[in-house]
Structure 1
Amino acid sequence: MFDEKCFIIAEVAQAHDASFMLAKSHINVAADAGCDAVKFQIHLPKYESTPDEKFRVPIDGYKTRSEYWERTCFEPEQWKELADYAASKGLVFMASAFSLQAIDMLEEIGVPVWKISSGETSNVPMLHKVGKTGLPVIISTGMSPMKEIEDAVNILKSYDIDVAITQCTTQYPTPPSQVGLNVMNEYKERFGTYVGLSDHSGTIYPAIAAAWEGASVIEVHICMSYQMPGPDMPASLDPEDLKRMVEGVRFAEEMRANPLDKDEKAKEFVDFRKLFFQSIYVKKDIKAGETFSEENLEIRKPCNGIPASQWDDVVGLKAANDIESQTFLKEEHIRKDVS
């Protein structure tokens, strides 16, 4: 799954705001932009939350996050319909689970890859549960120190499955100074896994830069409009920017996959060099035996004579014959026997 091109995930999360049709609309946006997968979040408050869970960003009308999760969660058959709809659009359906029961639901739906969110990195029972399925796992690391990440990765790798670690900063939006693309290479060197970026910057730039750095996975939040309410909107991309981001990632991938040999490429520009490069030009009449100097030579386009790059070699030599001004200097104009 992670070997060919960068696997781009459009994260809807709760941007659908409990509207089933809006959820489908986000799937359309992801497909139109050229993403590989669309991802939601499955919160089952009965198994996941308590009244003590506080909001990261307060939402009007709700006293607890549990109330919010209850309102914005779809029924199992609706999740299945969304998965089927995503498949009909050529997308992999994904969802972050926040309870073991949500994992069970997703197993019944038949997801091909798991996503462990930053808040579940230390959820050992969940790590074992997804590992036992034998499916690939993408794990985000937004709030974890290296030791915690290492423990999670060791659990997952014990099941001999593909693991992708995404650098993530749990800051909405994430400023450039906190994106941390350097961490991707640290993960690759330290854990020997696939690596990527789960970006919360709300811009297209980190994803493109991550692709150039060799990211196997890129995840970004999406929204229908920057004017929409919601806690994730400042960290999301609208349809237009999502499409630009995907185009940029694919552009960066192609550049990375095609290192350039400057010497070989220069061979293609022989005719262009004659047009754009300069050659040595006779600006005053020169008599046979006269010394070439700045007084009688200059540089002009096109390159129809001795190249300007040989200027230092020519100055100080003598003319083999009379040369009229407004002539490109040629090899036959230079005496070979005396300097």
Structure 2
Amino acid sequence: MLLCIKETRPSMTSSSGINVIAEIGCNHKGNMDIACEMIEIAARDCKVEAVKFQKRHNRSLLPTSVYDAPHPVPANSYGRTYGEHREFLEFTLPQHKELIEECQRKGIVYSTSVWDVISAEEITSLRPEMIKVPSATNQNFEVQEFLCRNFDGEIHVSMGMTTRDEVDTCISFYEKMGRAKDVVLYACTSGYPVPPSEVCLLEINALQQRFGDRVKAYGFSGHHEGVAIDMAAAAIGIAGVKTHASSPFAYIERHFTLDRSWKGTDHAASLEPDDLAKLRSNLDDVCSAVSYKYTDVLDIEVEQRRKLKWVDMSEALRRKALLNKVS
């Protein structure tokens, strides 16, 4: 489904047409061994198509006052200040190269979100298959212009905490840059975790209706608990393609952790391995189910109709007689 920069890199291969991205993000706790273990579990046990990390250059991204301030939730902090916390969780560029190589070995696609220009430059140099622009950065057009000019893979863009005018501005920018057909547009609510009432799944259809086939594909980035909502997102997204003649609904992204009780902001809104595997397997069934009947009475219904269906025989005989008379 996706452009593979190098033949040795795995491609998206979902049989259902919807690819699952397991966002490891910072849930590795700054530990490469944990990150590699998560890659292996996502590929081997959960059988998802991709994993995603995050890349920040914290000194350029954060104001000094924020960098030097305490973490707003001290229980989640890995450092004395918010800056130290973020640096503790940050992998270097050589480490990201190692992560790409580990993904290649495990047969799963690597991606990362970039939060600033320096990070965009660094990750682009590794030539991954796709790069994510997070909701926090979708109005940073310096970052996005760099990607448009220097990165030839897919650009995935989340639309959490974003006004409709800002969404329009973002897509217009990609069209002016000639890259809209490389954009995957995600419906998203930014919260950790998000209650069901604020997931707002119909925003998937709203994006499909507004932008149709102007972008490459659509997706859903969820920060809720459990996987039931993801099934609804898939059904809504697939139906929206048929209703609005839009580009495919092709991605569901969920945060992934080995233990939801671990320290950190994202774990509470993440799926553990069993639920991630359940999400992947259940999506195949949902995708198969979202369709119209190909005939009035399906093959599977013929015998049941013969045994169970009440039919007005007098009316049926009258129609048969009329047909015989005409013929």
TM range (shorter): 0.7 to 0.9
Question: In structure 2, what is the equivalent of residue 300 of structure 1?
Answer: none
1:248 aligns with 2:282: yes
Does the CA-based 8 Å contact 1:8-1:35 persist in structure 2?
yes
1:246-301 CA-partner distances (Å, limit 9, x unpaired): 11222111222x43235341x55444455x53xxxxxxxxxxxxxxxxxxxxxxxx
Pairwise CA distance, 1:224:
0.3
How many angstroms apart in 2 are the aligned matches of 1:190 and 1:127?
A: 21
Report the equivalent of 1:71.
88
Partners of 1:205 and 1:45 lie apart in 2 by 35
Q: Percent identity?
A: 25
CA contact (8 A) 2:78 2:88 kept: no
Partner residue of 1:149?
167
Aligned 8 A contact 1:150 1:191 in 2: no
Among candidates 111, 134, 138, match of residue 128 of structure 2: 111
Residue in 1 aligned with 2:210?
190
Q: Which runs of 5+ in 1 are unaligned?
A: 278-306, 314-339
Question: If each structure's helix is expressed as a fraction of its own residues, which one has the higher value?
Answer: 2
User: Secondary structure, in 3 states, of the residue corresponding to 1:21?
Assistant: helix
Please give the root-mean-square deviation of Cα atoms over the aligned residues, in Å: 2.4
SS at match of 1:109: coil
Residue type matched to 2:194 in 1?
T
> Are positions 1:221 and 2:255 aligned together?
yes
Correspondence list, 1:202-241, <5 A: 202-213=225-236, 214=238, 215-241=249-275
TM-score by length of 2: 0.79
Show the counterpart of 1:121.
138
Asked if the contact 1:211/1:249 (under 8 Å) is kept, the reply is yes
Shift of 1:221: 0.2
Task: Determine whether 1:200 maps to 2:212.
Answer: no
Q: Name the CA shift for 1:124/1:26 in 2 (closer, same or farther; >3 Å).
A: same
C-alpha displacement of 1:99? 1.5
Q: Which has the higher contact order (CA 8 A, sep 6+)?
A: 2
Aligned residues: 282
- 2:38 aligns with 26
Residue 198 of structure 2 aligns with which residue? Answer: 178
3-state SS of 1:196 partner: strand
Are residues 270 and 138 of structure 1, via their aligned partners in 2, closer, same or farther at CA, if it must alter by over 3 Å?
closer
Residues 173-202 of structure 1: CA deviation (Å, up to 9, x unaligned): 111111111111111121233221100002
Query: 1:181 is matched by which residue type in structure 2?
Result: L
Gaps of 5+ in 2: 3-11, 239-248, 316-327
Q: Distance in 2 between matches of 1:91 and 1:64?
A: 35
1:309 positional shift: 3.4
Q: TM-score, normalised by structure 1?
A: 0.76
In structure 2, what is the equivalent of residue 42 of structure 1?
Answer: 55
Closer/same/farther in 2, CA of residues 312 and 202 from structure 1, 3 Å limit: same
Indicate which of 253, 260, 263 corresponds to 2:293.
260
Indicate if the aligned counterparts of 2:79 and 2:88 stay in contact, CA closer than 8 A: no
- Whole-angstrom distance in 1 between the partners of 2:302 and 2:118: 67
CA distance 1:260–1:227, shift in 2 (3 Å):
same
Which residue type is aligned with residue 259 of structure 1? Answer: Y
The alpha-carbon distance between structure 1 residues 310 and 229, as it changes in their structure 2 partners (threshold 3 A), is: same
